[in-house]
Structure 1
Amino acid sequence: MLLTQYLFQADKPLKTTIRNYTEADFNELIDIQKECFPPPFPSDLWWSEDQLGSHIRHFPQGAICAEINGEIAGSITTLIITYKGQDHTWEEITDNGSIVTHDPHGNALYVVDISVRPKYRKTGLGKLLMQSLYHLVVELKLESVLGGSRMPGYERVKDKLTPEHYVESILNGERKDPVVTFLMKAGRTPVKLLPDYLDDPESANYGLLMEWKNPFFEKTK
């Protein structure tokens, strides 16, 4: 994958290249994780070189990064799964981030992680990374993009609202969530809540499964 276009930061154009990441990018990708998830976030949950190596071995097409002025500005990692509506956890579906569970004969592209350096946020880079997956899904003739979203805004209201009511309030436009609302703006649609999706107190350990359906997909008769 190779795509170049301009993003803007304070009206300054940023020439941005979307490409597949390689072993040469590993150190920068780990640095991005450190910037996006600083302490007290556990450092053992940042990407490791072993995990990144597994990504490019099992599914190099789905290992994508963004480069701005020679610097890796963000990344998004995926695998292909066979999805038939089953509940799941992030750890189960991704084999704890190693994507050994990648199934080249599956029907859906699943988002493992998206990270954007803080200094490049609000440039539209996250949305551009997400759009790169839509191109990939069409190219690979898969049914959809799927992924479990965190709901970090839920922590502020979890004593007042159930997770179901929290999601409903977002869909009704009564409140915004930093992750769910971003993904909706990027084209993803909430499907269902996934209990015990990941160890995430801010989201009460829930994930919100969100989908983008490939409008060009045709089922084989």
Structure 2
Amino acid sequence: METINKLEVRNLVMQDYLELRASMVEAYTGIEDAPWKQSEISKLLSLFPDGQLVVLVDDKVVGCALSIIVDHSIVDQNHTYEQITGSYTFSTHNPDGNILYGIDVFIHPKYRGLRLGRRLYEKRKELTEQLNLKSIMFAGRIPNYSKYANEITPKAYIEKVKMKELFDPVLAFQLSNDFHVKKIMKNYLEGDIHSLEYAVLMEWNNIYYDQSPKLINLEKSVVRLGLIQWQMRPLKNLESLFDQAEFFIDAVSGYGSDFALFPELFIAPLMADYNHLNEADAIRELAKYTEPIYQKFQEFAISYNINIITGSMPHIVDGNLYNSGFLCKRDGSSEMYTKIHITPNEVAHWGMKGGDQIKTFDTDCGKIGIMICYDVEFPELSRIMADQGMQLLFVPFLTDTQNGYTRVKSCAQARAIENECYVVIAGCVGNLPKVNNMDIQYAQAAVLTPSDFAFPNDGIKAQATPNTEMTLIVDVNLDLLKELHQYGSVRVLKDRRHDLYKVVHKQQDDL
């Protein structure tokens, strides 16, 4: 896959037409009159601009989803594509209707396999909720049916696709996006020889629909976290690590997680090949894997539509060895963070140096902070981040004994209380006997909270089973933090005595 630097889903504008048409030509190869005319796109934009979506990769249009609003009574009847679009005039669009009707979705062939179509569908669902519409409906083609038409009926074909006995690229995609089959329609799209002009009327129901319109909070308040408690195990090569990491990313993204958190130095098993070297040389050899791992995780973030915090890995800059990680965002961008406080062990065995940047990161789920293991034991860092608006603090860690883990967890709980934020910790478990200085690990991943009535009594939202490989999926409500800040039993951030003390953030130029 080519490197993607930026990915965006937004509303279509008329200036996109030439790129839109070029992608349509590639997507609909072999179908006559497939590209939408400029006048048709212009008409759609004048009638319903919010319903026309495009996905861009590096500012180039590579996919599109077009829709109109119709009344349920029209869709429920048998209809053809020409009828539902008003012979392509879109005279059927009714702003007072209650159904979002999809009239087209496509992705440029070069960018298929990255789940970009799923992103367009998710935006359609968000729009349906925002407009308080009853459901999304459309008639989907079944392009592989012509291969089996002499053997089975359309109804039997649909059942076999549902049971994964047969594969249909369009129908399988719709079913995986929570659409259900309403009925089969004949003669839907004239000239569709692959589907034999059959179509399947599909529907996705908006569970928040209310016949009496009401305002819907458009701001994302509930964030889903995926914590990965990683088992240290021998790995044959880099591909083995990618396979294991992708398994977990697939799992947590399958539950709709917004973030996946990996532990500190979870890539250490790859150091086994260098066990004949001294520890300082071995970890520098391990650092050679950092760049390809970062690139692969950036690809995973896009493909699985999830923000990934890559734990940490050794990173060499200008000959100096650091403990760094990457925030790989699902929009294709990424940022690096570096461990600031280095443990005596890391200095003595590996010759590591500490970073010099304290910063927060903007994400599609709000502002977050990231600190690596030992850093969480220094309260000044998180206080500075809290002053910058941080609501979620992620702490990938690696501890060999329960004593070390207790320090990390206890300090993380304190950071949650004093900074009125959620703290998310994840570490490695198990043994790694053939890697020097990485023999044993102890961990219990957890999501820690402030201590007030809206939160768990013990300040623990959820925690994993100790020393067992597993994932932890946890929802956190950011609105509760806002309420705590204003109305909490104690208001730690508000009640600080700035007249007596303050935490000063020295800028890099001042160091």
User: TM-score if structure 2 supplies the norm length?
Assistant: 0.40
> Which deviates more, 166-175 or 101-110?
166-175
Give the Cα–Cα distance (whole angstroms) in 1 for the partners of residues 94 and 129 of structure 2: 17
**Match among 53, 67, 70 for residue 59 of structure 2:** 70
**What is the match of residue 227 of structure 2?**
none
CA contact (8 A) 1:76 1:129 kept: yes
Structure 2 distance, partners of 1:98, 1:122, is 33
Report the Cα distance in structure 1 between the residues aligned to 2:48 and 2:160, rounded to whole angstroms: 37
Question: Match of 1:35, SS?
Answer: helix
Structure 1 distance, partners of 2:154, 2:205, is: 24
Instruction: Confirm whether residue 47 of structure 1 aligns to residue 39 of structure 2.
Output: no
Amino acid at match of 2:43: S
Q: Which residue of 2 aligns with 1:143?
A: 134
Q: Moved runs in structure 1, 4+ residues, more than 4 A?
A: none
Quick one: which of 172, 196, 200 aligns to 1:204? 196
1:48-106 residue CA offsets vs partner (Å, 9 max, x unmatched): 10111011011101111011101011000000000232111111001233423210010
Deviation at 1:195, TM superposition (A): 1.0
Larger radius of gyration: 2
User: Cα deviation per residue 1:178-216 (whole Å; 9 max; x = unaligned)?
Assistant: 100011112211111111111211111111011110010
Verify the 8 A CA contact 1:54 1:100 in the aligned structure 2: no
Written as runs of structure 1 = structure 2, the 5 A alignment for 1:114-193 is 114-193=105-184
Alpha-carbon distance in 1 for matches of 2:198, 2:173: 17
CA contact under 8 A between 1:59 and 1:79: conserved in structure 2? yes
| Distance change in 2, residues 1:133/1:182 (3 Å) | same
Matches within 5 A, 1:76-91: 76-84=65-73, 85-91=76-82
Counterpart residue identity of residue 89, structure 1: T
Contact kept, 8 Å, 2:6 with 2:59, in 1: the verdict is: no
Where does 1:90-109 land on structure 2 (aligned, <5 Å)?
90-109=81-100
Of 8, 22, 25, the residue aligned with 1:34 is 25
2:177 is aligned with what amino acid?
Answer: A
Note if contact 1:81-1:110 (Cα within 8 Å) is conserved in structure 2: yes
Structure 1, unmatched stretches of 5+, are: 1-8
More relative contact order in 1 or in 2 (CA 8 Å, sep 6+)? 1
What is the distance in 2 between the residues matched to 1:87 and 1:202? Answer: 20
Q: Is the 8 A contact 1:58 1:100 kept in 2?
A: no
Instruction: Give 1:14 shift.
Output: 5.2
The normalised TM-score by structure 1 is 0.90
Q: Could you tell me which amino acid in structure 2 is paired with residue 22 of structure 1?
A: V
* Secondary structure, aligned partner of 1:179: helix
Q: Following the alignment from structure 1 to structure 2, what is the Cα–Cα distance between the partners of residues 76 and 94?
A: 15
Q: Is it true that 1:216 corresponds to 2:208 in the alignment? A: yes
Alignment partner of 1:56 out of 22, 28, 45: 45
1:63 maps to a residue whose letter is Q
Question: Compared with structure 1, are the counterparts of its residues 86 and 14 closer, same or farther at alpha carbon in structure 2 (3 Å cutoff)?
Answer: farther
Give the distance between the partners of 2:145 and 2:139, measured in 1 at CA: 15
Cα separation, 2, equivalents of 1:97 and 1:177 = 27
Amino acid of the structure 1 residue aligned with 2:56: E
- Does the 8 Å CA contact 1:80/1:108 hold for their aligned counterparts? yes
Instruction: Output the amino acid matched with 1:45.
Output: A
CA distance, structure 2, for counterparts of residue 73 and residue 13 of structure 1: 12
* Alignment gaps of 5+ in structure 2: 214-511
Tell me the amino acid that sits aligned with residue 74 of structure 1: G
Letter in 2 for 1:179: V
Aligned-CA RMSD value:
1.6
**For 1:133 and 1:98, how far apart are their aligned partners in 2?**
22
Q: How many pairs are equivalent?
A: 210
